[in-house]
Amino acid sequence: MSLKNKITAIQQAKGNRPLAVLTAYDYPTGRILDEAGVDLILVGDSLGMVVLGYPDTTHVTLDMMVHHTAAVARGVTNAIVIGDMPIHSYDTPDQAVESATKLVEAGADVIKLEGGIKQVEKVRAIVAAGIPVMGHHGMLPQRVLEEGGYKKKGKTEEESCAILEGALALQNAGCFSIVLESIVPELAEKITTELDIPTIGIGCKAANQKQTCDGEVAVITDVIGSYPWFVPPFATTRANVADDIKRAVKEYIGSIG
């Protein structure tokens, strides 16, 4: 299926079926997720923490994202591959187009960037260059240092209005979809109702609550339990890969000699 048709299918899913999005950072994971039937695969800058061992995403560079996007893309045939734009790779519209082009040349089908109204000109420029854009609004991990931590968004009327306004501005600028991160469930539901494009939530509901968005994105290491040292409270871990690896390695050590 062409990319245009894949994006149309994603947009037509709104209101009809939930969209499944997972992160991947390497070839085997990309290939396994694609074979399992996930809709979109995000080569997220969460790479910084769960693969590269940094404390947050502010250490991730465009070269790192290009390297990992290429690896994931080599394993994916059906899902849409999203290349995440790292911090300071889209400070101006021209730089945003240049960086997005590099991610597409590496194998991304579309790109994602963080922020609301401030990013409108950059979204417009990337879309005008023929590259589909996914927005990312609410809690913005690339701002974690300025904000002094990961904080739930939309708790006040003023903040809620600003986030809704930002989401509408991203849609009007041409985003085909938008990630909503760590915003209160009522606001996530409101934005999902008001927007025509699909919303993809993360941390916008408790683990046992009903969906508040059109789809959900999760960090693969949270889902499979391969990064057990920190799992966010909203995540559901469905396998225990870290323990499996330890068991297999101990068995291997015991089998030597």
Interface ranges with ligand KIV (CB under 6 A): 23, 42, 44-46, 84, 179, 181, 202, 217, 219
Question: Which of 220, 201, 221, 199 minimizes the C-alpha distance to 209?
Answer: 201
Catalytic residues: 181
Tell me whether residue 23 or residue 69 sits nearer to ligand KIV (CB atom): 23
Q: What is the distance of C-alpha 177 from the center of its chain?
A: 11
Tell me whether residue 6 or residue 25 sits nearer to ligand KIV (CB atom): 25
Tell me whether residue 229 or residue 252 sits nearer to ligand KIV (CB atom): 229
Q: What b/e readout covers 95-131, taking b as 16+ CB neighbours within 10 angstroms?
A: bbbebbbbbbebbbbbbbbbbbeebbebbbbbbeeeb
Q: C-beta of 142: minimal distance to ligand KIV in Å?
A: 9
**Closest CB to ligand KIV belongs to which residue?**
44
Q: C-beta of 202: minimal distance to ligand KIV in Å?
A: 5
Give me the helices (H) in 135-225, please: 144-147, 157-173, 185-194, 220-224
Q: C-beta of 17: minimal distance to ligand KIV in Å?
A: 20
Tell me whether residue 44 or residue 154 sits nearer to ligand KIV (CB atom): 44
| Under 8 Å between Cβ of 197 and 180 | no
Q: C-beta of 49: minimal distance to ligand KIV in Å?
A: 9
How many Å is the maximal CA-CA distance in the chain?
A: 67
